[in-house]
Amino acid sequence: MSLVVVGSMALDSIETPFEQRDDVWGGSATYFSAAASHFTEVQLVAVVGNDFPEEVVSFLEGRGVDLAGLTRTDGPTFRWKGRYAYNMEDRETLDTQLGVFEHFDPELPDGYRDAELVFLANIDPDLQRKVLGQVKKPRLVACDTMNFWIEGKLEALKKTLASVDLLIINDGEARQLAGEHNIVRAAKAIREMGPERLIVKRGEYGAMLFDGDHVFVAPAFPLFDVIDPTGAGDSFAGGLMGYLAGVDEVNQTTLRQAMIAGSALASFTCEGFGLDRLRKVENGQIKERIAAFRALTHFEELGDAALSTVA
Ligand code: AMP
């Protein structure tokens, strides 16, 4: 199944308690495509300015990503600056410069319009809808967003949410969007806004899928070294959607498998700065990590005799 993504391609400035770097290759669409490309061909919709490194474009091309939907415009590329707390989890956005995104008017190439899966990565919700409106009859539309848009463009975001099947969002944003501190209650409130299914990303605690009456929890891989978690969420979404692009049906079984594929890809992203690790990961390593996830979550039945006889 074909998979279209619209999102940012960016130059990031990232500060962790241990390292600081500028001009790091990033953006939601970049991480998403790099991760998803391990499962399927991705058709990318994004805009970059004339300061964007050609090396990133060649890397994505090398991974088989279709770049017919990539626009290059005069002006500065989108820039994001963030700082991580000591737990390498909480982060603060220090600056967001929309640059060429401000006047981006995405026009989908003809070859993209029959896409069966669409991922609206984290960008202006009006742009997300503009892209979605050009896809004929997608089977699954998933979407991400962040506090920047929840605070700045809530009404536009709600319109987007009304037409998506799956929202993938982090726990802080879920609480903020729903106005509920409890995640299970927040999930209910968010699903009432439109998305039938919801995935709540919880950083080092993994991710929760709310699907019908079912909840599935995937752990995050216990890593010795988390170098930079930037892009973990987009890599998770890329692994998840990329995997789903290859299955016959999106159902509870395949969604659970996809959660693990996403978690595996996200774990590689955290092991390097920016795209440093993700861009080098090989299929064999992904396979091994998925097997490790299986071992991590498997347990035998406890049996009737396990409980004390004391009532
Ligand atoms: P993640 O860590 O998965 O949430 O993704 C981080 C990436 O999202 C960074 O590479 C940023 O360039 C990009 N990003 C941050 N803020 C925004 C925004 N407001 N719109 C679009 N992309 C953003």
Q: What is the pLDDT of residues 289-306, one digit of tens each?
A: 999 999 999 999 988 777
Mean pLDDT across 214-224? 97
**Does ligand 1 lie within 6 Å of residue 148's CB atom?**
yes
**Where residue 84 falls among pLDDT bands split at 50, 70, 90?**
very high
User: What is the model's pLDDT at position 308?
Assistant: 82
pLDDT at 310 over 90: no
Angle between helices 28-36 and 54-62 (to 10 degrees): 30
**Does ligand 1 lie within 6 Å of residue 274's CB atom?**
no
pLDDT at 128 over 90: yes
User: What is the model's pLDDT at position 206?
Assistant: 97
Mean pLDDT across 79-101? 96
Mean pLDDT across 28-39? 98
User: What is the model's pLDDT at position 261?
Assistant: 98
pLDDT at 9 over 80: yes
Q: How far is the CA of 122 from the centre of ligand 1 (A)?
A: 7
**Does ligand 1 lie within 6 Å of residue 104's CB atom?**
no
**Does ligand 1 lie within 6 Å of residue 46's CB atom?**
no
CA distance 99 to 112: 25
Mean pLDDT across 198-212? 97
In the chain, what are the domains? 3-298 (3.40.1190.20)
**Does ligand 1 lie within 6 Å of residue 234's CB atom?**
yes
Residue 22, token pair as written in the block: 């500028």
Measured CA angle at 135 (ends 258, 103), to 5 deg? 105
**Does ligand 1 lie within 6 Å of residue 96's CB atom?**
yes
Write a three-state SS string for 42-104: EEEEEEECCCCCHHHHHHHHHCCCEEEEEEECCCCCEEEEEEECCCCCCEEEEEEECHHHHHC
Measured CA angle at 257 (ends 138, 255), to 5 deg? 40
Q: Which atom of ligand 1 is nearest to the CA of 80?
A: 12
Whether the CA torsion 217, 168, 182, 252 is positive or negative: it is: negative
**Where residue 221 falls among pLDDT bands split at 50, 70, 90?**
very high
User: What is the model's pLDDT at position 306?
Assistant: 78
| Of 20, 150, 173, residue with least CA distance to 83 | 20
Residue 304, token pair as written in the block: 């009737």
User: What is the model's pLDDT at position 304?
Assistant: 77
The pairing of strands 10-15 and 20-26 is antiparallel
Report pLDDT digits (tens) over 36-70.
999 999 999 999 999 999 999 999 999 999 999 99
CA distance 245 to 140: 10
**Does ligand 1 lie within 6 Å of residue 56's CB atom?**
no
**Does ligand 1 lie within 6 Å of residue 80's CB atom?**
yes
Q: How far is the CA of 79 from the centre of ligand 1 (A)?
A: 9
User: What is the model's pLDDT at position 183?
Assistant: 97
Mean pLDDT across 254-269? 98
Whether the CA torsion 74, 79, 157, 47 is positive or negative: it is: positive
**Where residue 144 falls among pLDDT bands split at 50, 70, 90?**
very high
Mean pLDDT across 83-87? 97
Nearest CA to ligand 1 atom 13: 27
**Where residue 275 falls among pLDDT bands split at 50, 70, 90?**
very high
Mean pLDDT across 120-143? 96
The separation between the first and the last C-alpha atoms of the chain, rounded to the nearest angstrom, is 54
Q: Which atom of ligand 1 is nearest to the CA of 82?
A: 15
Q: Which atom of ligand 1 is nearest to the CA of 146?
A: 19
